[in-house]
């Protein structure tokens, strides 16, 4: 039979109310009493009834994080820092992987965990903010990523246009003149980052060459490797490549190594995201480094404000700080 609250109270020698106060982290509990209750909880392996507790409190202290891919190093790192930011506030994060598919994204918003979670931090791929009102169940929602929220929802995102402009300008300032871009496909990420790439070329008086803009089929290492092979097959290959994420850049670096080309002497490479793999690659990867800790703290804080009842305040659109981390793939 499952351990009850009264069993914990009897073992600790306190009232049921006192046990409840300790579990709910109420103030004004002495350290000695708290220690006795916590020891009894451990000894009896007591597990609170989350559903009942949620009904009593009016909230569960669980939030959902919906991301496209858990296998992606960027989203794995982001999930970890968001989980830590929530844990510091006594909140547990439940992670949903949508794989960037519309039915899975809609399921998240339609309330798959509606009775269990208080709000959602969501990085959409297919669902645009204009459609969110039709599928959202009314849970507080904070968006991540390049898609503008149109004032309907809170959003936390890097200024990808400016960051891409800075990455491309770095290559231009190094004297590179045939700068390719990998990842320019139909996603919002590809569209927005291409805008910054082209803006930098235009500012330098350099035309953009459609042959140097490759979409590929995805944002993984193999996509970067395949795109780099296509670029090297051009009559005049590029002398630099801006990859729209670090996985594409790592794939491109592999192709360059297989072709016997030197990085950065023959081809300079820049990525975007600053994942750990890029920092320890040889050569180490120059990349746009978003402040993930700032992003996580801001997204969690914003969501908890909405959960606490600040629902009528104007929607926020917060811009994540970033730096251009210059490493061996552009400077040797």
Consecutive 10-residue averages of pLDDT for the chain (332 residues): 80 86 75 87 74 56 91 95 93 89 78 73 80 64 82 89 98 98 88 96 96 91 97 98 98 98 98 97 98 96 87 80 98 90
Q: What is the Rg, in whole angstroms, of the alpha carbon atoms belonging to the chain? A: 24
Q: What is the pLDDT, as a whole number, of residue 211?
A: 96
Task: State the pLDDT at residue 111.
Answer: 60
pTM of full prediction above 0.75: yes
What pLDDT score does 207 carry? 92
In the prediction, which pLDDT does 114 show?
57
Confidence at residue 270, expressed as pLDDT on a 0 to 100 scale:
98
State how far the Cα of 144 lies from the Cα of 274, in Å rounded to an integer: 17
Measured CA to CA, the distance from residue 116 to residue 141 in angstroms comes to 15
- From the list 185, 199, 245, the residue with the least C-alpha distance to 221 is 245
- Strands 317-320, 286-290: parallel, antiparallel or unpaired by DSSP? unpaired
Phi, psi of 127 (to 5 degrees): -85, 120
């Amino acid at each position: 039979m499952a351990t009850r609250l009264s069993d914990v109270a009897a073992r600790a020698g306190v009232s049921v109310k006192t046990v409840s106060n300790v579990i709910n982290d109420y103030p004004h509990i002495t350290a000695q009493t708290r220690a006795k209750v916590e020891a009894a909880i451990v000894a009896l392996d007591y597990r609170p009834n989350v559903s009942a507790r949620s009904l009593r409190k009016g909230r569960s202290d669980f939030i959902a994080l919906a991301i496209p891919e858990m296998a992606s190093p960027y989203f794995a790192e982001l999930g970890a820092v968001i989980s830590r930011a929530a844990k510091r506030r006594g909140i547990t994060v439940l992670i949903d992987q949508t794989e960037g598919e519309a039915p899975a994204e809609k399921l998240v918003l339609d309330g798959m965990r509606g009775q269990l979670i208080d709000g959602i931090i969501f990085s959409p791929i297919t669902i645009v903010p204009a459609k969110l009102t039709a599928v959202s169940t009314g849970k507080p929602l904070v968006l991540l990523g390049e898609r503008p929220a149109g004032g309907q929802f809170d959003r936390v995102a890097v200024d990808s246009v400016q960051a891409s402009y800075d990455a491309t300008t770095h290559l231009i300032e190094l004297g590179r003149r045939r700068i390719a871009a990998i990842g320019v496909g139909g996603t919002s990420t590809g569209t927005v980052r291409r805008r910054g790439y082209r803006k930098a070329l235009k500012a330098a008086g350099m035309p953009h060459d459609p042959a140097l803009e490759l979409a590929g089929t995805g944002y993984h290492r193999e996509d970067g490797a395949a795109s780099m092979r296509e670029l090297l097959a051009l009559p005049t290959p590029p002398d630099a490549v801006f990859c729209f994420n670090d996985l594409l850049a790592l794939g491109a670096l592999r192709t360059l190594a297989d072709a016997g080309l030197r990085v950065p002497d023959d081809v300079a490479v820049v990525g975007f995201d600053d994942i750990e793999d890029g920092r320890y690659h040889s050569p180490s990867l120059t990349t746009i480094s978003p402040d993930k800790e700032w992003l996580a703290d801001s997204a969690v804080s914003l969501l908890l404000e909405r959960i606490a009842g600040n629902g009528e305040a104007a929607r926020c659109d917060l811009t994540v700080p970033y730096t251009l981390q210059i490493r061996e793939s552009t400077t040797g």
